[in-house]
Amino acid sequence: MSTTTLDTSAQPIDRFVSAFQVNHGQALNGTNASVAKRREAAIQRFQELGVPTRKQEAWKYTDIASVLDRPYTLPLGPNEADVSARDLDPYLIDDLDAHVLVLVNGRPDHSLSQLDALPEEVTVTSLKDAGTHPAFKAHYGEYADAEDEVLTALNTAFVQDGAFIHVPEGTELEQPILLLHVNAAQDDLLMQPRHLFVVEADAKARVIGRQLSLTDARTFTNTVTEMFVGERGYLDHYVIQEEDDNASQVLSRFGYHEGDSVLSTDTFTFSGEVVRNNMTLTPDGPNCETNLYGLVIGHGSMHVDNNTLVDHVHADCVSNELYKHVLNDQSTVVFNGKVFVHRDSQRIDAYQSNDSLVLNNDAQIYTKPELEIYADDVVCSHGATAGQLDEEGLFYLRSRGLSQERARILMMKAFAQDVIDVIEVEPLKALIEDRVQDRLRTFAS
C-alpha cells in the first residue's frame, strides 16, 4: 500500500501540507477529475484556516487538535487490509434484506459487497469509479463547505475514495442500502472517506451507515458526506457509530434538498473515543421536511459532539430535531443545535429539543441551542433538559415486582424510546433496540 507517514516533528498544518505536496501528481491524482480539480483550493483553505482550537466557539468543548496531532499514517493507495466475509458476518443486520457496500478503511471492497439485487438503474459504487457519472459531476463538492469548514477542506484535499449512490428520477428503492464502514489496519491510520448520495426527483432511498473497528490500531476518520434530494424525493440516512475506543472521527454531513422532499437523518452513537458529527441540512424549496434525530449512549471516557445546523433558506418548510443523550461514567456530550431562518423564509415550523439523562456525577453535558430567526411569520421552539432517573418512577416499577436493575433499564430505555421509534426499517430498529438494551444493562447493574 502506498502510504505516507505524517511527520510529527512538524506543526500539524505543515505536516498535512507537505504530505499533500509530496503526493500531489501521483497518489492524489488517480481518483477522478471532479475530485482532483478541487484539491488545490482545498489544501490552500486548510492552510489558511488552520487546525481548530478550543478558542473557536464551534470547537470549544472538543479538543480536535490533540486528536489530529498523532503519528498517523495516511493511506494513499489500495487496501492491504485482511478482512474476510466471515469477519463481517456479525455486523450484517439480522433479517435485513439490504444492498451491501463494504468499505474497508474508507474504500469500497466490491468482493465483500453484495449488490447483485440492485435495480439496474440504481448506482452504488466507489467514488473513484464514479467520475464520469453525470450526477457525480453535477453534485460532487457542491454542498460540502470546503471554504469555511477546515476538516471538510482537509478531506477535500486528500479524498481518495468512498461511496457513490445514485437513485434516478422516479425510482423508489425498496431495500435499504447498507454501507458497512470497517476500520481494519495494522497501523494508526488517518482516513478521509468521501461519500455522495444523489436521490433524484420523485425517488426514494434509505441508506444505513454502520461504522466498526476490527483493529486495535488507533484510527482517525475524517469523513465528508454530501446528500442531494430532488423535488418530491425522500432520503432517510441512518448512521450507527460503534467504532472502538481507539477510534476517533469527524463526520461532516451536508444535505441539500429541493421542494416537497423529505431528508431525515438518525444518528446512533454507541462508542468511539472522540466523535464529532457536523451536520448541515439545507431545505431549499417549499414544503420540505427535514428531520434530525440522534441518540448518544455515553460510557467510559467517550466524547461525543453533535453540531447541527438547519439552514432554512426557503419559506414554507418544517424541521424537527430531537437528540437524546444517556451519559454514564466520565462520558461527555456536546450538543450545539443551530436553526437559521433567513429573512424571506416565512411560515417555517422549526422544532428542536435535546434531553440528557445523566447517570453519573463525572459525566458532562454541554448543550447550546442557537436560534437565529430573521423572518417574522415562523413557529420555532427549542428545549433542553438534563436530569437523573426519576426515583418516583423507579419505585413505582419496583413496587410491582421489577428488580432495581430491570426498573432502571426500562426507565433508561423509555427515555431513549422516541428516537428509536422513528426508525422505519424494522430489522434496524430491532438491532438498535438490542444495542441500546445491551449497553443500558451494563449501566443498570
Partner 1 sequence: MALLEVENLHVSVEDEDIEILKGVDLTINEGEVHAIMGPNGSGKSTLAAVLAGREEYVVTDGSIRYKGEDLLELEAEERAEEGVFLAFQYPVELPGVSMTNFLREAVNSVREARGEEELGAADFLKLVRERAKLVDLDPDLVKRSVNQGFSGGEKKRNEIFQLAMLEPTLAVLDETDSGLDIDALRTVSDGVNKLRSAERAFLLITHYQRLLDYIEPDHVHVMVNGRIAESGDKDLAIRLEEEGYERFQREPAAA
Restricting to residues 416-435, name those near partner 1 by CB under 8 A.
416-418
Give the DSSP letter string of 300-341: TT-EEEEEEEEEE-SSS-EEEEEEEEEE-TT-EEEEEEEEEE
Task: By CB under 8 A, name the one of 344, 390, 424, 438 that touches partner 1.
Answer: 390
| Residues whose CB falls within 8 Å of the CB of residue 247, separated by 6 or more in sequence, listed in order | 183, 213, 218, 219, 220, 221, 272, 273
Closer CB to partner 1, residue 56 or residue 388?
388
Angle, in degrees to the nearest 10, between helices 150-158 and 39-49:
150
Nearest to 98 by CA among 223, 254, 248, 210: 210
178 closest CA partner among 254, 95, 105: 95
By CB under 8 A, tell whether 445 contacts partner 1: no
Choice between 41 and 394, CB closer to partner 1: 394
| Member of 414, 437, 438, 442 binding partner 1 (CB under 8 A) | 414
CB contact at 8 A, 230 and 201: yes
14 three-class SS = helix
Cβ closer to partner 1: 384 or 397? Answer: 397
Near partner 1 by CB under 8 A, which window of 3-11, 63-71, 378-386, 409-417? 409-417
Fill in the per-residue mask, 343 to 382: x = in contact with partner 1 (CB under 8 A), - = not in contact. ----------------------------------------
CB of 358 to partner 1, least distance (A): 17
Q: Closer to partner 1 at the Cβ: 26 or 417?
A: 417
Half-sphere exposure of 103 (CA within 13 A, CB side): 30
- Among the listed ranges 130-138, 311-319, 328-336, 407-415, the one in contact with partner 1 (CB under 8 A) is 407-415
Contact with partner 1 (CB under 8 A) among 398, 429, 430, 441? 398
β-bridge partners, 228: 198, 256
Indicate which single residue of 96, 115, 397, 430 sits in contact with partner 1 (rule: CB under 8 A).
397
Closer residue to partner 1, CB minimum distance, 5 or 403: 403
Which range, of 142-150, 355-363, 372-380, 411-419, touches partner 1 by CB under 8 A?
A: 411-419
265 and 281 in contact (C-beta within 8 Å)? yes
Interface region with partner 1, contact rule CB under 8 A, candidates 180-188, 238-246, 357-365, 410-418: 410-418
Residue 310's nearest CA partner among 379, 255, 258, 392 is 255
Q: Which residue bears the cell 491510520?
A: 189
**First-last CA distance in the chain:** 46
Instruction: Name the minimum Å distance from CB 291 to partner 1.
Output: 19
388 in contact with partner 1 (CB under 8 A)? no
Residues whose CB falls within 8 Å of the CB of residue 146, separated by 6 or more in sequence, listed in order: 38, 41, 42, 45, 152, 153, 155, 156
Of positions 368, 406, 429, 441, contacts partner 1 by CB under 8 A: 406
How many residues touch partner 1 under the rule CB under 8 A: the total is: 24
Give kind and range of the element (H or E) at residue 156: helix 150-158
Q: Per rule CB under 8 A, is residue 385 in the interface with partner 1? A: no
Does 410 participate in binding partner 1 (rule CB under 8 A)?
yes
Q: Which residues bind partner 1 (CB under 8 A)?
A: 390-393, 395-404, 406-407, 410-411, 413-418
